[in-house]
Amino acid sequence: MKLYGFYLRHISLLRSNAVVFRWLFGYTPAKALWGQYWDWTTITLRTALRRHLKPDMALLDMGCGPYAVLSRFAREKLRCNEVTGADHCQELIDYAKQTDPESGIKYICSDLFDNIDGRFALIAFNAPYIDEDSSEQTVLFPTALNRKRFCGGKGGVQTIARFLRDAPAYLQPGGKMLLGVNHFHSGREAVRGEIFKSGLRTVATLNNPVTKSCVYILMEKCDAKM
């Protein structure tokens, strides 16, 4: 536990550093008022976006957070023309909007797809995956807002299950979903079980064996056969 505390303190310095951020994501971030800028899953999703996003695609960055890291990386580095960033915390969306008056990204406060219109070629989600009953949850996330941001309900997979159930209705034909998790915190079997139940098909995975972050690239079964 001591070693884990040491790791958390040092990794937090790295993840809150604006110079490191600029090197990784290609633009200068707003002040880190809401905690660290990124986590290991953000980095794996960044790789997935590089592989799967083209400038003419419509992207939905679900759970964009206060810095809208993936939305802005898609817009400013990958030159994606149509980016929507959504988050269910009003204060985070307000900060994202306030600190990004010019990029043209559309920011929406929404509990998953409740306020989302239209269809997207790519939907990315760095999902909250911490089990709401785990001791880790109270140690790592002492405030209610932090728990709302990072806890994924019972077993850490309730939000993921809702996302998998609802997302296909917002996908364009042939569209893909990029579901990012970290298997250090959330069980591989539990996440795969939810994907299996959803009827979606995993067409590829991006795994980082060191950080345990993992992105599942998903399609509807009928599209995956094409």
126 contacts 45 by C-beta, under 8 angstroms: yes
Beta strands in 23-132 (DSSP E): 58-62, 82-87, 106-109, 120-126
CA distance 123 to 213: 18
Among 70, 121, 157, 164, contact with ligand SAM (rule: CB under 6 A): 70
- Residue 92 sits in the site that holds ligand SAM (CB under 6 A): yes
Contact code string over 189-208 relative to ligand SAM, x by CB under 6 A: --------------------
The DSSP annotation for 146-187 comes to: HHHHHB-SGGG-HHHHHHHHHGGGGEEEEEEEEEEEETTTS-
Among 42, 84, 137, 186, contact with ligand SAM (rule: CB under 6 A): 42
- Residue 157 sits in the site that holds ligand SAM (CB under 6 A): no
Copy the structure tokens of residue 39: 């986590």
Q: Tell me the residue number closest to ligand SAM, measured at CB.
A: 63
Closest approach of ligand SAM to the CB of residue 129, in Å: 8
Closest approach of ligand SAM to the CB of residue 89, in Å: 5
Closest approach of ligand SAM to the CB of residue 2, in Å: 25
